[in-house]
Amino acid sequence: MYILSGRSENLEGWHVNPRYDVYMPTKGMVERLASSYDIKPTPVLKKLAGNYSLYSGARLIADMALSEKGSYVRVDKRSSEEVYIADLDHHVSLNKDLLELLEAASVGYLSSFDADYAVVP
């Protein structure tokens, strides 16, 4: 569950995976997607192999795929309805429990490797 305003909502199609990364898009990314595809994502879910889910609030508004070679981008738009979300500081405080769950999942995943140290971007 990801809290995006004052209430808890599940992101459509999202589940905890230590190899996924949920982040807030940059202003430039939002502007580019808005001008090219008429969508303004709030959270972005980075999946595997160049696949992303773009959300407005908890609603999935598009799937995006980036090619591993070249500059091909495919966006499959689902909805352009915008949803209010909290500012970044409030967003982090609302999601403290989930962030701790993701941290624990990541530590468990990294602990499964036989290595003395790990570099995590």
Q: What is the pLDDT of residues 16-54, one digit of tens each?
A: 788 888 888 888 888 988 898 888 888 888 999 889 999
Average of per-residue pLDDT values in the chain: 79
Within 13 Å, how many C-alpha atoms sit on residue 39's CB side?
25
What is the Cα–Cα distance from 36 to 21, expressed in whole angstroms?
24
- pLDDT exceeds cutoff 90 at 105: no
Mean pLDDT in residue range 87-97:
73
Judge whether 58 and 2 are in contact, CB under 8 Å. Answer: yes
Please give the pLDDT value at position 2. 52
pLDDT-derived band at 78, boundaries 50, 70, 90: confident
* 8 Å CB contact between 83 and 43: no
Beta strands in the chain (DSSP E): 2-3, 8-9, 21-23, 44-46, 51-56, 59-66, 73-77
pTM higher than the cut 0.75: no
Quick one: average pLDDT of 85-114? 77
